[in-house]
Amino acid sequence: MSLLDPMLVLELLALGVFTGFLAGLLGIGGGMLMVPFLSFIFNHRGIEQGLAVKMAIATSMATILFTSLSSVRAHHRRGAVRWDLVRQLVPGIVMGGLLSGAGVFALLKGRALALLFASFVIFSATQMLVNRKPKPSRQMPGPMGSGAAGGAIGLVSGLVGAGGAFISVPFMTWCNVSMGQAVATSAALGFPISLANTVGYVIAGWNLPAVAPGASGYLMLPALGVIAVASMLTAPLGARFAHAMDTRHLKRVFAVLLYGLGSYMAWRALSGA
């Protein structure tokens, strides 16, 4: 795989532009779209399917370091980020992320990770379609409960290469945090989730041989650079749209797309394609 391949650069730029915009718009971090496409791109260019899935997950997670910073600035300017909730959830997120990236991720086979990813993508799509109203009296849990919730968010996010919004947004809205604040706060949580898991991936892949030029362990650094630049440019645009439009219809369309991507990843894992 060579970054000098013009088609590869165009594919990565398009992926970064699209996922960056959706990260700002829906607070999703972009991983749910990025992982299936990166997995296909890496596998198509000669990387074995199981390793391609792992590299796609790790590279996708690392891009969230940049997308999150760009997106959260736009949300913060509008006063939508609940920094009190960020402080409650981050300690658990860091512990769960390090455990996932440095331990569990390396132990699981690529096929198992692909099936896990497909399951959570389909779960996330269902959450977008189901509009359940929480009990009016329900509130965010205390420090212990928030720490446990953060641990689960960090752990699962690291296994599927996503920024955690597919868990954190439904969790916060279930606790009567408004949708706008939940999306904005989820964008802020994306940075510690990505940082902890990326450190874990580096540790887990330290002794892996480079399978392609620019690869370092599970991280494909050239792909990371191209996608990060493109996504940082479009994430603020998505955040502005999130505060100016009704995203309910878009969420339904996006949920259908996620069902398709989840089914595709499950099919590839089960068929060994």
The 3-class SS string of 235-250 reads HHHHHHHHCCCCCHHH
Phi, psi of 141 (to 5 degrees): -70, 170
**pTM of the predicted model, to two decimals?**
0.75
CA distance 40 to 59: 13
Average pLDDT over residues 170-194: 82
- 220 SS3 class: strand
pLDDT at 74 over 80: no
CA distance 60 to 42: 12
Closest CA to 171 of 225, 92, 58: 92
| Structure-model confidence comparison of residues 272 and 151, the more confident one | 151
Closest CA to 141 of 177, 117, 116: 177
C-alpha torsion sign, points 243, 28, 31, 154: positive
Q: For helices 165-174 and 179-204, give the axis angle rounded to 10 degrees.
A: 140
Closest CA to 236 of 70, 91, 97, 90: 70
Q: Which residues pair with 216 in a beta bridge?
A: 219
pLDDT at 4 over 60: no
pLDDT band at 214 (very low <50, low <70, confident <90, very high): confident
| Structure-model confidence comparison of residues 197 and 179, the more confident one | 197
Q: Which residues pair with 220 in a beta bridge?
A: 215
Q: What percent of the chain has pLDDT over 90?
A: 0
pLDDT at 131: 63
| Structure-model confidence comparison of residues 102 and 90, the more confident one | 90
User: Do residues 54 and 204 make contact, with C-beta atoms less than 8 angstroms apart?
Assistant: no
CA distance 256 to 8: 27
| Structure-model confidence comparison of residues 135 and 240, the more confident one | 240
The count of other CB atoms within 10 Å of the CB of residue 76 is 15
pLDDT at 201 over 80: yes
DSSP letters of 165-190? Answer: HHHHHHHHHHTT--HHHHHHHHHHHH
pLDDT band at 52 (very low <50, low <70, confident <90, very high): confident
- Strand runs labelled E in the chain: 215-216, 219-220
